[in-house]
Structure 1
Amino acid sequence: MTEPTKPKLTLNDIQMRDPFVLPHEDGWYYLYGSTDKNIWRGPATGFDAYRSKDLTEWEGPFPAFRPGPDFWSDTNYWAPEVHRYRGKYYMFATFKADGVCRGTQILIADSPLGPFRPHSDGPVTPRDWECLDGTLYVDDDGKPWMVFCHEWVQTKDGTVEAIELSESLDRAVSAPVTLFRATDAPWVEPVKSPKNGEGYVTDGPYLHRCANGTLLMLWSSFRGGRYAQGIARSESGGVLGPWRQEPEPIYESDGGHGMIFARFDGGLRLALHTPNRSPDERPVFVPVAEVDGRLVAAVSS
């Protein structure tokens, strides 16, 4: 069956938070993110995906995930990431329901465009923790981990945590290990809200292995009232760290929740959303380069 033709779009046409890009061997880049018009409240619709051959013109939206009538969550569909693992495609995404803690559930599909369906039995994050932004990391021994955030709304000083996953990615097989706290980074400043008071945010972890073997973690918080993209490095080269914070963000122009992907020509891009306000947020791809195990802004090419 021939797929319907989709209109060509630019990134400026796509309202999206938390962008994630999957370059695929079929020659397409697949783009995922938080795509509900209002992700903060009200009934959620699902996750849409887009695809492009050149990162400039995009086709979509394609309905990558739509909840079934018995799906447990109906709000806060956030930060989908899609990872290829053992021939399948796994979506790690954040969900919430009234009276149920926010958490990351794992979905599965046979193709990058889905349709994705539940794989884990609800969230794999602790059921009594408010959590978000789970990401997959497979270590050098082939062991899968999920790195995620324990939210500041519950802890006041948000943390980044790691749990080991089963080989089938359907459940956690270890207790969480705290990797670091928001206040471990010297650049992070507190946020305030009428409901939750003052606290320090951790958002959007993503792990990137440099060509020289250095393991970096991108994560986001706030500085000067604006969203910012920070980086930590593992002193052991492994997921359990210890993690040392870079003293300054790599991006602080009211954007974040980033990840790193390689273009088909090998050039690296930092994908993030900016500005950090709805409905104006858009995905942006910032050229970066590795220099001695660090990520630095590069000249666009």
Structure 2
Amino acid sequence: MKSNQEIQIRDPFIFVDRDSEKYYLYGSTDPNIWGEGIGFDVYVGKDLESWDGPYSVFRPDQNFFANENFWAPEVHAYNGKYYLFATFLRKDNQKRGTAILCSDSLMGPFLPHSDGPVTPADWYSLDGTLYLDDKGEPWMVFCHEWVQVGDGEICALRLSKDLKQAMDEPIALFAASEAPWPTSFRHPKRRNQDNYVTDGPFLYRAGNGELLMLWASFVDQVYAQGISRSTTGKITGPWLHESMPLFESDGGHGMLFHDLENRLHLTLHSPNKTPNERPVFIPINEKDGKLRRKDA
């Protein structure tokens, strides 16, 4: 078994399987996620501290549309199957996008389900997550990358019910600079503009019915995790942003889950430097739609 400190992983995602009383830990598991893609693995445990694995859940065949930047897998149960949303760098145009894979088992193998990325082909996009609205209609929420737009955006895209394709053009929900806490940076290729990162959106319906979004950016070049909330309770917003990050100690791309005892946790990776990334689990207090770390 492996402890959390022995697992190199970015973008951790927990699937809580209440039938087997086990946790499934997915994430970006390639030793060097910035280069050639190997695939995705899962770790399986009962206490968020010790894990069996890694077990392979996806390996590409020679016809797969991507061979680099295998990032941020999330696994969602939907209509009797398991769907893996993940980011890949396309071979044909060298742009990133989120594609959808499918399996009958949490252990995989996950096989291509969508015909390549469902995000726009000419966009640099990443970190797609599944959201079901109050009518049960599926959406993908994802990031339009700062490398293309400068001020990174979070967008929503309505999906077909079979999760194979987009049904409409993306809707921009907000840009990173609209929130008060992220700070800008300059890049050698973009010397004359301020850039802002959006990263890793995750939707959470609070106990009081409010729709919250967890997403990551940077504060003075340190990775951080913030929260926004929809004023209407709908994915299309408008969205209001909390003034301070939930976590600002060099960690992010997180998600929220209730454990087997129904206690709320935030998981994210920290620190934000390869190969030192590790999964971190933080107990969270929720009151009237407000989330606060228990250790803060």
Please indicate the TM-score interval, normalised by the length of the shorter structure: over 0.9
> Quick one: which amino acid aligns to residue 46 of structure 2?
K
> Quick one: which amino acid aligns to residue 262 of structure 2?
G
Counterpart secondary structure, 1:125:
coil
The size of the alignment, in residue pairs, is 292
Matched, 1:240 2:236: yes
Match for residue 226 of structure 2? 230
TM-score normalised according to structure 2 size: 0.96
Decide whether the 8 Å contact of 1:268 with 1:287 is kept in 2.
Answer: yes
Give the alignment partner of residue 72 of structure 2, picking from 54, 72, 79. Answer: 79
In the TM superposition, what whole-angstrom CA distance separates every residue of 1:41-77 from its partner, at most 9, and x where no partner exists?
2x21000110101111100000010001100100000
CA distance in 1 between partners of 2:140 and 2:52 (Å): 30
Cα distance change on mapping 1:234 and 1:92 into 2, 3 Å: same
Matched, 1:14 2:7: yes
CA distance in 1 between partners of 2:72 and 2:209 (Å): 27
Matched, 1:280 2:276: yes
In the TM superposition, what whole-angstrom CA distance separates every residue of 1:104-137 from its partner, at most 9, and x where no partner exists?
0000001111000000000000001000000000
In the TM superposition, what whole-angstrom CA distance separates every residue of 1:221-252 from its partner, at most 9, and x where no partner exists?
00021000010000000111100000000000
Decide whether the 8 Å contact of 2:99 with 2:116 is kept in 1.
Answer: yes
Comparing 191-200 with 84-93, greater Cα deviation is found at: 191-200
Matched, 1:44 2:40: no
CA distance in 2 between partners of 1:113 and 1:261 (Å): 19
Match for residue 190 of structure 1? 184
- Report how far residue 217 of structure 1 moved: 0.1
> Quick one: which amino acid aligns to residue 77 of structure 2?
R
> Quick one: which amino acid aligns to residue 208 of structure 1?
Y
Match for residue 96 of structure 1? 89
Give the alignment partner of residue 130 of structure 1, picking from 124, 128, 134. Answer: 124
- Between the aligned residues of both structures, percent identity stands at 55
CA distance in 1 between partners of 2:283 and 2:220 (Å): 24
Decide whether the 8 Å contact of 1:191 with 1:201 is kept in 2.
Answer: no
Decide whether the 8 Å contact of 1:274 with 1:283 is kept in 2.
Answer: yes
Match for residue 217 of structure 1? 213
- Report how far residue 195 of structure 1 moved: 4.0
CA distance in 1 between partners of 2:278 and 2:80 (Å): 31
Matched, 1:32 2:17: no
Cα distance change on mapping 1:136 and 1:19 into 2, 3 Å: same
CA distance in 2 between partners of 1:212 and 1:149 (Å): 27
TM-score normalised according to structure 1 size: 0.95
> Quick one: which amino acid aligns to residue 145 of structure 2?
E
Comparing 93-102 with 256-265, greater Cα deviation is found at: 93-102
Aligned Cα RMSD in Å? 1.2
Decide whether the 8 Å contact of 1:260 with 1:268 is kept in 2.
Answer: yes
> Quick one: which amino acid aligns to residue 74 of structure 1?
N
